[in-house]
Amino acid sequence: MPDASQQLKARVKDFRQRDLLVDMTPKRTSIEFLLVSPNPDVVRELSRGCHRVYLPELGRSREVAPVSAQMGSNYARMETEDGKRTLVNRSVSRKRR
């Protein structure tokens, strides 16, 4: 069985902290448990959804949860590519509206 990616682990941790994941594994006392006979290696989770934030530079909305994980990976990539610890690339011209 393949290991979960670091991004997936961070996302699951964030969803659990914000109470957005619900365990859907049938309880032993339920009829569903007797009828389905669930595999002990399978975990059933229900995601209630994630808040979305509108990003005007993209012209669309994105989920809030993966933003911090993506920011961390982009920051690490910037550090390794150019050796600087800046978060802003000053050589890119800014769009004016």
- Pairing state between β 52-55 and 60-63: antiparallel
User: For residue 18, is it within any domain?
Assistant: yes
User: For residue 13, is it within any domain?
Assistant: yes
- Residue 35 makes CB contacts below 8 A (sequence gap 6+) with none
User: For residue 52, is it within any domain?
Assistant: yes
The string of pLDDT tens digits covering residues 7-61 is 778 877 877 787 777 776 667 777 766 676 666 666 666 666 667 777 788 888 7
User: For residue 67, is it within any domain?
Assistant: yes
User: For residue 93, is it within any domain?
Assistant: no
User: For residue 50, is it within any domain?
Assistant: yes
pLDDT band at 89 (very low <50, low <70, confident <90, very high): very low
- Residue 69 makes CB contacts below 8 A (sequence gap 6+) with 6, 7, 10, 11
The span from the CA of 17 to the CA of 63, in Å, is 16
CB 30 within 8 A of CB 37: no
**Residue written as token pair 């009829």:** 31
The closest of 1, 3, 6, 2 to 66, measured between CA atoms, is 6
User: For residue 29, is it within any domain?
Assistant: yes
Q: Which domain holds residue 13?
A: 6-82
This prediction's pTM: 0.36
Bridge partners, residue 47, by sequence: 21
Domain count, the chain: 1
